Amino acid sequence: MMKEDAGRIAADMTDALGSMGWATEVFAFEGKPSEPPRPEGADIAITLGGDGTVLYAARVIAPLGIPVLPINLGNLGFIAWVKRTDWRARLSDALAGRLTNSERIMLDVEVRRDSERIARFSAMNDGVVSGAGLAKIVNLSITVSGASLGTYRSDGVIISTPTGSTAYSLAAGGPILDPDMDALLFNPICPFTLSNRPLVVPGKETVEVYVEHKQREKTVLTVDGQDFLSLQEGDHVYFRRSEHRLKLYCAGRGSFYQVLRAKLNWSGGPDA
């Protein structure tokens, strides 16, 4: 149903923009395409889907500095905040300059093995280092810009952006960060030490995850729930603030808190 809705809305949107003199190009994908779209020179990018669609598009669009209008065809929609029934009005607002831009931090994720880089990823939400087996406990040593936090025995660790704080990290008991903050969030998943708690660090810091030796389970890196890499003992995974930020259209300064109230069913009263 989402695919059919996306195709119909994309066609209607193309007609509407064409009538106003705008040239359009439509990129459609299922899963992960072998060749990502190249929207160089575009004035605006519009995503049709859920938050996952925005996450995929962010990797392509953030380096280009193109603002994104996210139309929600999914369920929750923390990032994709525009209702499918409101796309005409919101598109008109964007083109007329009535929407503001929220510049969202992106993560740069680098994996090094034997002092050589073996992989590099970009993420809008988070990177997760975790066990891949049924008994998922792994031992991971964590440092922040060279300062040791210790070795964590847990199901894994999440390093997220403020935008990603409402995703997997929130389900794992982490705090919610305002998406305009310049910070990174470190959150252990089900740690076996009660004193291990989430930690918010300045965005300038580098969080390093070291995969200890003699693991009982295989270890895997997951980036935005879309990219996966099997890790080996002795691998280093570095999480840094990217030099690029995603420009995301929003309705105003308080729109994020309105989304929180709506999506998390906060009443604001004594029964909240």
Q: How far apart are CA 120 and CA 242, in angstroms?
A: 12
Q: What is the largest CA-CA distance in the chain?
A: 63
Paired with 228 in beta bridges are 222
Q: Which is the catalytic residue, given 51, 126, 155, 235?
A: 51
**Any catalytic annotation for residue 86?**
no
Give the C-alpha separation, 50 to 14, whole Å. 20
Closest CA to 130 of 162, 166, 158, 160: 158
Give the type of residue at 94. Answer: A
Q: What is the DSSP string of 202-264?
A: ETT--EEEEE-SS-SS-EEEEETTTEEEEE-TT-EEEEEEEEEEEEEEES-TTHHHHHHHHHT
C-alpha span between 12 and 211 (Å, rounded): 50
Q: Among candidates 144, 136, 138, which has minimal Cα distance to 238?
A: 144
Residues 6+ apart with CB under 8 A from 45: 39, 57, 61, 66, 67, 68, 69
Burial class of residue 164, CB neighbours in 10 A (0-12, 13-18, 19+): buried
Give the H or E element holding residue 11: helix 2-19
- Element (DSSP H or E) covering residue 153: strand 147-154
- List active site positions: 51
